[in-house]
Amino acid sequence: MIDFISGIFILLGAAFALIAGIGLFRLPDVYLRMHAATKAGTLGAGLVLLALALDAQQLQVAARAIAGILFLLFTAPIAAHLLGRAGYLSGSPLWTKTRFDELSEKYDADGRRLNGTPPEELRRGSAHRGDKDGASE
Amino acid sequence: MAEFGAQFLEWSIDIAYVAIMMSFALTVFRLLRGPTLADRVVSLDMMALLGIVFIGVFSLSTGVYAYLDVAIALALIGFLATVAFARYIYRGALAERRGSDVPDEGDDS
């Protein structure tokens, strides 16, 4: 029975890894590719490690596998965030059919800070995103 | 039932190897092709993940669980490499902006 369950987990994990590869191949810009690689790839690796933890039936192996899953889940968003920010600032082109670029014009000239809505206005709630066009000034 | 379970596990391991291989090929295509540096770094990150998946399947199929430590170390190295590359791209972008944007827009820091 355990064989059966871990076989299913392996199949699912490999399918997610394959989907991540297809996404990396087909999607049109860096951000969408990163979306495929980060989420589907991490899920695939996590499922395969989970299958390993189930199949081994030893506490130490299972503990290491679960530690690996947790490590992947903690680090993947950080890496993707840093990479997305760096890619955006270095001017990687967005897909031509992108509708909104909410970050456009919001970085200051040297690219270190966001100069969107100042924090005190956000706290007052006057320039909230719910406004029709956001930028009222 | 136990017979069938073991057989199913072997089949799924074989299928998983094929899927990982295909995914690796697509990732390598993106590594070679990727128009920007960020694309290539995303693809390298994906390669580290695929290495982890491969090691997981391999460790399961051979029963040598010591390979799991290799997978964890690979996860760590992949994360550090991605962060380092991201910093590198970010620094490059900052330097480029400082070079091109400061003359027409006053520096107000």
Q: Specify whether A61 is located in the same domain as A119.
A: no
**B13 part of contact set with chain A, CB < 8 Å:** yes
Number of domains within chain A = 2
Where on the phi/psi map is residue A125: left (φ > 0), alpha (ψ -120 to 50), or beta?
left
User: Whole-model pTM?
Assistant: 0.82
Q: What is the mean pLDDT of residues B61-86?
A: 93
User: Distance from CA of residue A99 to its chain's centroid?
Assistant: 20
The interface predicted TM-score (ipTM) is: 0.84
Nearest residue, CB atoms, B13 vs list A10, A25, A111: A10
A95 inside domain: no
A65 inside domain: yes
Q: What is the mean pLDDT of chain A?
A: 82
State how far the Cα of B67 lies from the Cα of B54, in Å rounded to an integer. Answer: 10
**B81 part of contact set with chain A, CB < 8 Å:** no
Residue A37 in contact with residue B47, Cβ under 8 Å?
no
A68, pLDDT greater than 90: yes
Nearest residue, CB atoms, A30 vs list B1, B13, B42: B42
pLDDT of residue B22: 94
Q: Specify whether A113 is located in the same domain as A82.
A: no
Q: Specify whether A78 is located in the same domain as A109.
A: no
Nearest residue, CB atoms, B26 vs list A24, A83, A109: A24
Q: Do B93 and A14 touch (CB under 8 A)?
A: no
A22 inside domain: yes
**A7 part of contact set with chain B, CB < 8 Å:** yes
What 3-state class would DSSP assign to A93?
coil
Q: Specify whether A69 is located in the same domain as A107.
A: no
Which structure tokens are listed for B45? 């990150």
Look up tokens 């899953």; give the residue.
A69
Where on the phi/psi map is residue A134: left (φ > 0), alpha (ψ -120 to 50), or beta?
left
Q: Specify whether A112 is located in the same domain as A83.
A: no
- What are the start-end ranges of the H helices in B34-109? 37-62, 67-101
Backbone angles phi, psi at B22, to 5 degrees: -65, -40
Domain span at A52: 2-89
pLDDT digits (tens, 9 = 90+) for A30-60: 999 999 999 999 999 999 999 999 988 899 9
Q: What is the mean pLDDT of residues A60-77?
A: 93
Q: Specify whether A83 is located in the same domain as A108.
A: no
pLDDT digits (tens, 9 = 90+) for B75-108: 999 999 999 999 999 988 888 877 765 444 444 4
State how far the Cα of B68 lies from the Cα of B62, in Å rounded to an integer. Answer: 12
Q: Specify whether A13 is located in the same domain as A63.
A: yes
Biggest alpha carbon–alpha carbon distance for chain B: 75
State how far the Cα of B53 lies from the Cα of A100, in Å rounded to an integer. Answer: 35
pLDDT of residue B104: 46
